[in-house]
Amino acid sequence: MRMQSLRTIFLAAAGAFALALAPRVIGAEASLLDGKSFVGEFVQKGKTSGDKDTIIFANGRFRSTACDRYGYGDAAYKATSEGNTIRFEAETESPRYGKLVWKGIVKGERLESAVTMLEPGRAPVDHRAWGDLKR
For 69-73, the CB contacts below 8 A with 24+ separation are 70/94, 70/96, 70/97, 71/95, 71/96, 71/97, 72/97, 72/100
pLDDT of residue 18: 41
Question: What φ, ψ does residue 60 adopt, rounded to 5°?
Answer: 75, 10
Fold of 31-133: Porin (2.40.160)
| pLDDT score recorded for residue 50 | 95
The residue ranges of every structural domain in the chain are 31-133
pLDDT for position 135: 87
Q: What is the pLDDT of residue 125?
A: 97
**Global pTM value:** 0.77
For residues 60 and 7, what is the distance between their CA atoms, to the nearest angstrom?
37
**The predicted structure's pLDDT at residue 5:** 52
Per residue of the chain (135 residues), give pLDDT as tens.
Answer: 555 554 544 444 444 444 443 433 344 466 899 999 999 999 999 999 999 999 999 999 999 999 999 999 999 999 999 999 999 999 999 999 999 999 999 999 999 999 999 999 999 999 999 999 998
